[in-house]
Amino acid sequence: MFGSTSPQSQAQRAAGVISDTTTANFREDVLVASTKQAVLVDFWAPWCGPCKQLTPSLEKSVKAAGRKVRLVKMNIEEHPEIAGQLGIQSIPAVMAFQNGQPVDGFVGALPESQIRQFIERLVGPIEDDLVDLLQQAEQALANGQADEAAALFDTILEQQPEHIEAIAGRVRTHLALGEADKARGLLDAIPATVVQNPKIAAAKVALDVADHAASLGDLADLKRKLGSDPNDHQSRLDLALSLSASGDRTSAADELLYIIQKDRKWNEDAARKQLIQLFEAWGPMDPHTVQARKKLSRVLFS
């Protein structure tokens, strides 16, 4: 009834949560796929104005649902057979499939809130997967697993390209991987309306710290300077920035704490101010931030 399987369908599904289908591929792309996850089929046509109104909200809601649901689009002008077999008489029409069977649907360009409710009736709250992915990504980054964190942030951004926390996280993974230019390009592309978002602001601070550290020279040279003069606080502060940029956050914090202990007022409290900036760049829940903040409190108030 619904056509034969196609070897191209697997490649289409691997591309993401939104894809197109044909009469020949419908069985594989929808019926078989719906045995693993809910599948929404959007029946549309190029001449349909309401279809164009529905598309942005429908795709946004599907991306927000993560891997819980996928969207398959069928142009009924080119492939009218399936719509006719299912009794679809007007478009846009969206039909949900689970376990190889149609289970729900709607007709017309519904508002985004109603589309989200429709999806949640099928698969539950649609934010859960992204929240979980974001937590995993942040934890991986805090643990020094930048490659793993980058992959997780990318998964979120595939689903929600404007996800602020994921963009900020991706900037920080670029920095952790020594890709300052990529981090800068990502920040430059952010709309001005969200630049002041705390997560984005922190990512920008992290980039500024990395840029400053890159201008300070070799770690070995800075250590030699301190070997000659342990009270060279400027070289010690520079060393702290370089250590942070190299990923040694514990040592970076300890160097700044050393200055604070020796001469709190040096250079208008520069060491404490720099340590606070590193906390912002690392993130408030980073274990190095948490530990160094405790040490700072002991130094300041003991």
Q: What is the pLDDT of residue 61?
A: 86
pLDDT band at 167 (very low <50, low <70, confident <90, very high): very high
What's the whole-model pTM score?
A: 0.55
Give the strand order in the sheet containing 93-98: 18-20, 69-75, 38-44, 93-98, 101-107
Question: Distance (Å, rounded) from C-alpha 299 to C-alpha 281?
Answer: 21
Annotated catalytic residue within 48, 58, 123, 275? 48
Mean pLDDT along residues 198-219? 87
Sign of the torsion angle spanned by Cα atoms 109, 114, 116, 119? negative
Mean pLDDT along residues 286-295? 90
Annotated catalytic residue within 17, 51, 187, 240? 51
CATH number assigned to the domain with residue range 128-204, chosen from the 4 options 3.30.300.30, 3.20.20.110, 1.25.40.10, 3.30.160.270: 1.25.40.10
Q: Is 48 a catalytic residue?
A: yes
Bridge partners of residue 105, in order along the sequence: 95
pLDDT band at 266 (very low <50, low <70, confident <90, very high): very high
Q: What is the pLDDT of residue 16?
A: 65
pLDDT, tens digit (0-9, with 9 covering 90-100), for 104-114 = 999 999 988 89
Higher pLDDT residue, 139 or 127? 139
Residues of the chain with CATH 1.25.40.10: 128-204, 219-301
Work out the percent of the chain whose per-residue pLDDT is above 70: 92
Residues of the chain with CATH 3.40.30.10: 8-123
Omega before 92 within 30 of 0, i.e. cis: yes
Note the CATH number of domain 8-123.
3.40.30.10
pLDDT, tens digit (0-9, with 9 covering 90-100), for 49-104 = 999 999 998 998 888 786 789 999 999 999 999 999 988 989 999 999 999 999 99
34 CB neighbour count, 10 Å cutoff? 23
Q: Is 51 a catalytic residue?
A: yes
Question: Does the pLDDT at position 4 exceed 60?
Answer: no
